[in-house]
Structure 1
Amino acid sequence: MSSNRKPLVAILSGAGISTDSGIPDYRGPNGLWRRDPEAEKLVTYDHYMADPDIRRRAWLMRRDSETWRAQPNGAHHAVARLERTGVPVRVITQNVDGLHQLAGLPARKVLELHGTARAVVCTGCAARSEMAEALDRVRAGDPDPACRACGGILKSATVMFGQRLDPVVLTDAVAIAKGCEIFIAVGTSLQVQPAASLAGMAARHGARLVIVNADPTPYDDLADEVVREPIGTALPALLDAIVQERGRRVTG
């Protein structure tokens, strides 16, 4: 590996990093999309925009989401701890739960590929506001709260099925994947594109690729290391080892 590579750790996090916090894996064997295929319509843009009943059901799902009760777990805290040691780190997350930031990782160091569940956006005027305020309106009896600015349809600030990723966020993620020294894919099946392709991109550009996931992924053959241990213990140990290795470089 070239000695002039920027010593940046990139972490691609998927649903598996948040399951210990009580947030289900929607795509796993027991995930919501497997258990209730109809539920997928609630997060499909065309269905959501066309059907008021879908929107009302979606707002109830948001109101009752485990996200609001969830707290960062040991894996989230380990990433924030890594950042505090001075190791340059960036997180690219497929999650919309905001737990990396709640654990103390600066928001500017988190790229949310699929947006955030903690905000809402108007599909008409693009005004953004807090999800908490919209949910207060739902609890007060408004089943489908409209935009206060223009009366348009509100949706969570997440990327629904049928919507494109934010091109700016994706461009930044690609730059990080191409420029990092170590790329850690954690809790992700690496099957959803274009996020999954970032792992291969990092490996092709010389990064050390580490995959931490319970099940095999399409990129395991490219990885320098594949870890099948529970994320809550495996990721902290892995990140602690990176800090120690960096310390030996500095003092060596």
Structure 2
Amino acid sequence: MMEPLQDTIAKLRGIIAGARSAVGFTGAGISTESGVPDFRSPDSPWMRHKPIPFDLFVSSAAARREAWRRKFAMDDLYRDATPNRGHRALASLVHAGKMAAVITQNIDGLHQASGIPAEQVVELHGNGTYARCLDCGMRHELQAIRTIFGQKGAAPVCDDCQGLLKSATISFGQAMPVDEMRKAQELAMTCDLFFVIGSSLVVHPAAGLPVLAKRNGAKVIILNRQETPLDEIADLVIHAEIGPVLEPFAL
């Protein structure tokens, strides 16, 4: 028999209240309420606009043009997305000093838009709201790139060094960001509560972080609509919609 939602929220509130240094860990599920599509649903638009693998992006001008076409097509699908109850709840916990940081697999920038300082958001898969030069690392804004792409129909290059520009996300086959992975591991090892929200916990190495936290003495909470491979190690598992569960924590 399923426990009433208010009882589950009361348990969650008690665990969070007892934590000294919680860490959030978010996946695509927290952003679907904002209209951002997840990657694994059968009808996901990501299946129609699959990201180009990194090695192909680097080696082929045609692949780079197609990558940017798909990038802008996806951006148009959720250009008006704003932070929802889940994002706002985590921002409230960060500002209250209960949550040290949020580690995210998402690339939508909604945690920063919710008010969490950028230095307290660890983006394991990068950020799709801007681009970087693969050679010099210079940041480039998407609107300027889109204008040039629309005019020339060619993949953009860096103004400074003529290097290839790519959305600042981690593509398939691209190395995980070293600094972000190190910071995420440090947070997992030093927190006393690791709160997983909206992640299927099947993508590695990110999916190993809750295990690392548990091994170092932290409690683990998993809030996700479906079961995950790590439910069995969690101190509290909540299979429910994220918004209604976290709404009481959003100020």
TM-score of the superposed pair, with normalisation by structure 2: 0.85
Asked whether the equivalents of residues 48 and 54 of structure 1 are also in contact (C-alpha less than 8 Å), the reply is yes
The offset of 1:124, in angstroms, is 2.7
The offset of 1:70, in angstroms, is 1.1
Q: Which moved more, 1:164-173 or 1:134-143?
A: 134-143
Provide the residue aligned with 1:49 in structure 2: 58
Matches for 1:23-42 after TM superposition, within 5 Å: 23-32=36-45, 35-36=47-48, 39-40=49-50, 42=51
The offset of 1:137, in angstroms, is 2.1
Matches for 1:75-94 after TM superposition, within 5 Å: 75-94=86-105
Query: Quick one: which of 154, 168, 171 aligns to 1:157?
Result: 168
What CA distance in whole angstroms lies between the structure 1 residues aligned with 2:158 and 2:110?
26
What CA distance in whole angstroms lies between the structure 1 residues aligned with 2:225 and 2:119?
29
Q: Which amino acid aligns with 2:120?
A: K
TM-score of the superposed pair, with normalisation by structure 1: 0.85
Query: Quick one: which of 47, 54, 71 aligns to 1:62?
Result: 71
Asked whether the equivalents of residues 19 and 98 of structure 2 are also in contact (C-alpha less than 8 Å), the reply is no
Q: Which amino acid aligns with 2:81?
A: A
Q: SS at the partner of 2:206?
A: coil
What CA distance in whole angstroms lies between the structure 2 residues aligned with 1:61 and 1:69?
18
Provide the residue aligned with 2:199 in structure 1: 188
Q: Does 1:232 align with 2:243?
A: yes
What CA distance in whole angstroms lies between the structure 2 residues aligned with 1:19 and 1:210?
20
**What fraction of aligned residue pairs are identical, expressed as a percent?**
38
Q: SS at the partner of 2:213?
A: helix
Q: SS at the partner of 1:210?
A: strand
Instruction: Pick closer, same or farther for the CA change 1:69–1:43 going to 2, 3 Å.
Output: farther
Name the count of aligned residue pairs.
232
Asked whether the equivalents of residues 118 and 132 of structure 1 are also in contact (C-alpha less than 8 Å), the reply is no
Gaps of 5+ in 2: 1-17
What CA distance in whole angstroms lies between the structure 2 residues aligned with 1:55 and 1:173?
30
**1:127-179 CA distance string (max 9 Å, x none):** 22222322232234443111111222111111111111111110110010111
Asked whether the equivalents of residues 117 and 131 of structure 1 are also in contact (C-alpha less than 8 Å), the reply is no
What CA distance in whole angstroms lies between the structure 2 residues aligned with 1:206 and 1:213?
22
Q: Which amino acid aligns with 1:48?
A: F
What CA distance in whole angstroms lies between the structure 2 residues aligned with 1:28 and 1:50?
30
Query: Quick one: which of 23, 45, 53 aligns to 1:10?
Result: 23
Asked whether the equivalents of residues 14 and 95 of structure 1 are also in contact (C-alpha less than 8 Å), the reply is yes
